[in-house]
A and B are shown apart, each in its own frame.
Chain A
Amino acid sequence: MDRRKFIKRTSLASGGLFFVPQFLKAFDQHIINPFSNKKIVIVHLKGGNDGLNTVVPFRNDIYFQKRQQLALSANEFFKITDEVALHNSLKPLQKLYNNGYLSIINNVGYPNPNRSHFRSSDIWQTASNSNEFLNTGWVGRYLDHTKSKPHNAIEVDESLSLLLKGKHQNGLALTNPKLLNRIVKEPFFSNVIQHYNDTHLSEHNLGYLYDSMINAESSAKYIYEKTKTQKSTQTYPKNVFGKQLKTIAEFINSGLETQVYYAGLNGFDTHVNQKNRQKKLLTIYADSIDAFIKDIEKNDSFKDVLVLTFSEFGRRVQQNASKGTDHGSANNVFILSKNLQKQGLYNNISNLQNLDENGDLKYTIDFREIYATILNNWLQVNDTKILNKSFSKLKFIKPNN
């Protein structure tokens, strides 16, 4: 729908033409923004995925020694190089790998790793040092920096993670655009917005509250109007993660101006009987990703999308006594894109001989170098301003796409 029609419809729907709805102001501001069509989808494997059993060093004796019951046997993985194999559950990604759309970055972590799920997730989300407490996420700061609106970053969930919270602007959490739109369209809610007549938005707390309300309303309306006709015909696995990716694909294919999407898959904290659990989870992950890529590819959107998959930490090399693994440190990160500069394994897999004092992998790539590269090469913004620090850029993505 074009903008004129949109204005007409909303003013009619709200019944009053006397007050110009405030949210239209937001749109005017928005249109001025130059807008890049590049998007990132961030996937968090929550709980700490065991990277060693995901990207498997199947020729390494130490791997088998330390994981007597957990090491994958030959029929549980498929080779991608002479030294490295992937967990069989990731089979659906093989084609993407062969096409050169998958880059695996190994040994990603940060100095003085924290082994608490919460703390380490915060560190990944805020891009802070491990002894530093930030109240904004790096995506939130991206919104601040680009003077974006809430709908420019969407978490497919009911509540907003720190990742999407900025100093001045927050992203939006939503699972069902129809539902959110229905809530903000409730007569009382929209009446209050219609009647609000203070132009000094945001200067005092009351203005800030109204501003947030108006932003929520305009974003909800915008997303609903823009996406309501876009229904995916792709079949996805029937689980929460599949549903999240389906929603994201619908949003992307409908041409929504959202640049960052965030989704998560729970349950990777495999202290006990890891093998089955991880197998099941990785299957959910790979099947959903496979469906997702096919879906956006049909619409020729894959060329503008980069998928980043991370976990807050990896797991200990030595398995524990309960056929599981405990919290570790460095881990691998998956990048899916059609614009990879370096395809396949980005760097060598972990050195299992040189572990830290806890028996964990030592990181060789700071996770913030990945963020910096994405911000700089892909989203084409000043990464130093957003990460508050300069990090060296990696070469997994082609610059200036």
Chain B
Amino acid sequence: MEAKHIKHLYNRIGFGITPNQTYHLVGLSKKEIVNQLFNTSKNTTPLTVKVDFNFNDLKDKTRRRELVKKSKRKLKEYNIAWIDRLFNPAELLREKMTLFWANHFVCKDNNILLVQQYNNLLRKNALGNFGDFVTKMAKEPAMLKYLNNRQNVKQNPNENFARELMELFTLGQGNYTEKDIKESARAFTGYSNNFKGEFILRKKKHDYDEKEFMGKTGNFYGEDIIEIILQQKQCARFISNKIYTYFVNDNINKDHINQMVSVFYPKYDIKELMKFVLLSDWFYADENIGVKIKSPIEFLVGINTIVPFTINNKKHTFLIQRLLGQTLLNPPNVAGWKGGRNWIDSNTIVTRLRLPSVLLNNAEISYSDKGEFEDTVTDFNEKKLRKKVAIATITKWNVFTENFKNITIDELTQQIIITTINSGTAQLLKDTKNVSKQDFCIQLLSLPEYQLC
């Protein structure tokens, strides 16, 4: 396989690749490389942090508040653990798919135990069967809570979950009626959980009567509703579109989607679908290479692929995520991050172009604590809230030197930048080549071109 195509593949299913790794793959065929990717992602290593408390004591208000506080601290720990995992992923494809699904089955909660369970459900099913995945998600406590299904009871149905199930998780807008929402909401009444985070059906709250959903009638449960949804080819199309946008190109090619749908429907095997995409010729077409804007996480982790680094003060990890506009575990709303050009505004572009110098060259960055709603801010002193910091990192330039030892400065550009460089910028790079390899690398990472993958 051609080096360029290997790089493209790893940009999309991972976070870039070093010349050393590429070198070892060049002799292999496309099939061998793709199979290897799936093989290394066969297992699932759950992501956990140690939690030494539980939530069975929620009646007392003071105690509850204390727990929420503890839990929030743990969530931060979990966020950092996730970023660490992405910096050193064993199951690369699975982790990338997990990020994808986290922005599909979007959910947010304050309870670390529920969040952990939900997050690992994503990880475990990332390459599994989509039908099973949705069914499990419909019983996942964090999700039931987030979409108000615990308030969905026979006496007073709450339609939130049913609506998002169809609009965002399976069919997309315009492919169901308001009546379908009402009827399916009834099928999910009583779907709830206990304090241990286990699913329970509250029998007294469930509506056992007949429902009419998408032309079918029966005493449906939630699972039956999902079954009927999966029978719609539109569901396979909706998911294929989303995968195509995320892994291939923001601009949809209908022929490619049709091919994907015929692979995906009716079995809904995610692994099979992904294999098909990664083995297709069109995935490697020039029009699909170097045209997507990296998400903040892809951008951040991508820098680490080239020059590994660790951030000394863990708090700075949040700061970076916030300034770039994507904090893991904290999506903006149930629709998730919109992606593409929406990542970029005047502020995020400046942050992005500056971040490589900040991380690798000890440049300063200024910020203020926007604070959270729940914060008990007692100190409003400006100096304490507004800070200018150098984000101290330990950079492993020796790893960079080793990985890029056979690469000349001339070759460095095409190793790091996958897209065609603007000719004016290329000229500028030519003129500034008599700097060290390290400095030249930082320059490349600071270009608008590096934002693309």
Flag if B345 contacts A192 (CB, 8 Å): no
Q: Are A212 and B446 touching (Cβ within 8 A)? A: no
Contact A212:B380 (CB < 8 A) given known A133-B335, A176-B366, A188-B446? no
**B341 & A184 in contact (Cβ 8 Å cutoff):** no
Q: Do the beta carbons of A189 and B353 come within 8 Å of each other?
A: yes
- Residues of B near A157 (CB, < 8 A) are 368, 370
When distances are taken between beta carbons in the complex, the residues of chain A under 8 Å from B374 are 47, 117, 269
Chain B residue numbers with a CB within 8 Å of A179 are: 366
Check B380 against A209 for contact (C-beta < 8 Å).
Answer: no
Q: Count A-side interface residues using an 8 Å CB cutoff.
A: 64
Pick from A135, A173, A271: contact of B347, CB under 8 Å: A173
Interface residues in B438-453 (C-beta closer than 8 Å to A): 443, 446-449, 451-452
Considering residues B347, B353, B419, B447, which has the most beta carbons from chain A within 10 angstroms of its beta carbon? B347
Report whether B376 and A209 are in contact in the complex, using a CB–CB cutoff of 8 Å: no
Complex interface: stretch among A35-43, A101-109, A158-166, A250-258: A158-166
* From B250, B342, B370, B373, contact of A135 by CB (8 A): B342
Report whether A212 and B377 are in contact in the complex, using a CB–CB cutoff of 8 Å: no
A183–B422 touching, CB < 8 Å: no
List the B residue with the shortest CB-CB distance to A265.
Answer: B380
Chain A residues closer than 8 Å to B385, beta-carbon distance: 240
- Chain A's closest residue to B108 (CB) is A118
Residues of B within 8 A of A310 (CB): none
Contact B333 A119 (CB under 8 A): yes
With an 8 A cutoff between CB atoms, is B174 at the interface? no
B-chain residues with CB within 8 Å of residue A19 when the two chains form the complex? 424
Tell yes or no: B375 within 8 A of A by CB: yes
The distance from the CB of B275 to the nearest CB of chain A, in whole angstroms, is 27
- Which residue from A133, A160, A170, A175 sits with its C-beta under 8 Å from B333? A133
Q: Are A212 and B333 in contact (CB under 8 A)?
A: no
A187: min CB distance to chain B, Å: 10
B382 contacts chain A at the CB level, 8 A cutoff: yes
Q: Is the CB of A175 within 8 A of B386?
A: yes
Chain A residues whose C-beta falls within 8 Å of the C-beta of B65 in the assembled complex: 271-272
> How far, in whole Å, are A159 and B352 apart by their CA atoms in the complex?
13
Minimum C-beta distance from A298 to chain B (A): 23
A205 and B422 contact, CB distance less than 8 A: no
CA distance A196 to B447 in the complex (A): 11
Say yes or no: is B334 at the interface (Cβ < 8 Å to chain A): yes
Whether the Cβ atoms of A216 and B381 lie closer than 8 Å is no
> Does B375 lie within 8 Å of A267, measured CB to CB?
yes
**In contact, A206 and B380 (Cβ under 8 angstroms):** no
B349 in the interface (beta carbon within 8 A): yes
* A159-B381 Cα distance, complex, nearest whole Å: 20
CA of A264 to CA of B380 in the docked complex: distance in angstroms?
A: 12
Residues of A within 8 Å of B353, CB to CB, are 189, 213
Q: Identify the closest chain B residue to A209 (Cβ).
A: B448
Given the contacts A192-B447, A240-B368, A209 and B344 also touching, CB distance less than 8 Å: yes
Whether A241 sits at the interface, judged by CB under 8 Å, is: yes
| Residues 357-396 of chain B, each 1 if its beta carbon lies under 8 Å from chain A, else 0 | 0000000001110111111110011100110000000000
Question: Is residue B313 within 8 Å, beta carbon to beta carbon, of the partner chain?
Answer: no
When the two chains form their complex, are residues A206 and B345 in contact, meaning their CB atoms are under 8 A apart? no
Which B residues lie within 8 Å of A264 (CB)?
370
Q: Is the CB of A209 within 8 A of B366?
A: no
Q: A159-B325, A172-B346 are in contact. Are A195 and B427 (CB under 8 A)?
A: yes
Is B354 close to A, CB under 8 A? yes
8 Å CB contact of A170 from B292, B323, B346, B452: B346
Q: Which residues of chain A are near B62, meaning CB under 8 Å?
A: 322
Verify if A219 is at the interface (C-beta below 8 Å from B). Answer: yes
Q: Beyond A119-B333, A170-B346, is A158–B354 a contact (Cβ under 8 Å)? A: no
A122 at the interface (CB under 8 A from B): yes
Is there contact, CB below 8 Å, between B344 and A208?
yes
- Report if B28 contacts A (CB, 8 A): no
Nearest-CB residue, chain B, relative to A213: B349
Nearest chain B CB to A345's CB is how many angstroms away? Answer: 28
The answer for the CA separation of A5 and B120 in the assembled complex, in Å, is 60
> What is B's interface to A at a CB cutoff of 8 Å?
61-62, 65, 163, 250, 291-293, 322-323, 325, 332-335, 338, 340-342, 344-350, 353-354, 366-368, 370-377, 380-382, 385-386, 419, 422-425, 427-428, 443, 446-449, 451-452
